[in-house]
Amino acid sequence: AQKVTQAQTEISVVEKEDVTLDCVYETRDTTYYLFWYKQPPSGELVFLIRRNSFDEQNEISGRYSWNFQKSTSSFNFTITASQVVDSAVYFCALSEGTNRDDKIIFGKGTRLHILP
Amino acid sequence: KAGVTQTPRYLIKTRGQQVTLSCSPISGHRSVSWYQQTPGQGLQFLFEYFSETQRNKGNFPGRFSGRQFSNSRSEMNVSTLELGDSALYLCASRRGEKNEKLFFGSGTQLSVL
């Protein structure tokens, strides 16, 4: 069965520090997709990235970067030079690609506080 | 393009009552998924509808049900409400292709007293 673990429940850092959010997943599929979403205080989840299991290249988008490591079943998310607007709950999620029932399962989220 | 719209935004009910939540997906999206979000459990998958048929189901009791209409709008119903049903209920839509990203609404905050 698919499972996503975000061990960090809550993190606080001072503005401009770098912060890494951890995500570990479990799946029996060889084809799967990983996602990160951001939930600001307004409540609406915002899509950040989707990666498939065949693409292990790390990705950078502005201050955001993602480190996908199949060997450790991890898909970690780093924010560089954090800003107060980055304060939110961040969710990692998994979808099994070959499974007919490709429901997206979420981790419990990491609440990130960026202190001014 | 309008986003995913959920109504109502807030609801207060008492134990034993039933409630219906509504979700209008993004135009052209045929899949609607529902999630329950609570502080302790994070986002838990309830079910997904695609072209009026339930395509996936999570591990929730039969008191939680849903349906989808021909215009892709979806409703979720919870009968015989319990205190533990208090949560933010999120609806998400996508076109319907496998493993696509979800687009979320702002949710309905349900409080059961």
Q: pLDDT: is A101 or B92 the higher one?
A: B92
> Hey, are the CB atoms on B107 and A44 less than 8 Å from each other?
yes
Instruction: Quote the pLDDT of residue A98.
Output: 63
Length of chain B: 113
- C-alpha distances (whole Å) from A21 to each of A38, A87, A111, B16 are 12, 13, 10, 40
State the Cα–Cα distance between residues A93 and A102, nearest whole angstrom: 12
> Hey, are the CB atoms on A43 and B88 less than 8 Å from each other?
yes
Instruction: Quote the pLDDT of residue B24.
Output: 98
Burial string for A60-87 (b: 16+ CB within 10 Å, else e) reads eeeebbbbbeeeebbbbbbbeebeeebb
Residues of B in contact with A102 (CB under 8 A): 56, 98-99
Instruction: Quote the pLDDT of residue B56.
Output: 87
CB pairs under 8 A between A and B: 53
Q: Testing the interface with B: which of A3, A34, A44 to mutate, by most B Cβ within 10 A?
A: A44
Instruction: Quote the pLDDT of residue B73.
Output: 97
Q: How far is CA B58 from the centre of its chain?
A: 12
pLDDT single digits (tens) A63-75? 999 999 999 999 9
Chain B neighbours among A 49-88 (CB < 8 Å)? 50, 52
User: In whole angstroms, how large is the CA radius of gyration of chain A?
Assistant: 14
Q: Please return the burial class of B49, using the count of CB atoms within 10 Å of its CB with bins 0-12, 13-18 and 19+.
A: buried
Residue B19's CB is within 10 A of a number of other CB atoms, namely: 18
Residues of B in contact with A94 (CB under 8 A): none
Q: Testing the interface with B: which of A35, A53, A103 to mutate, by most B Cβ within 10 A?
A: A103
Among partner residues A45, A47, A52, which is closest to B90 by beta-carbon distance?
Answer: A45
- Checking if the pLDDT of B82 tops 80, the result is yes
Task: Tell me what percent of the residues of chain B surpass a pLDDT of 70.
Answer: 99
Residue B36's CB is within 10 A of a number of other CB atoms, namely: 23
Q: How far is CA B46 from the centre of its chain?
A: 7
Q: Testing the interface with B: which of A35, A45, A52 to mutate, by most B Cβ within 10 A?
A: A45
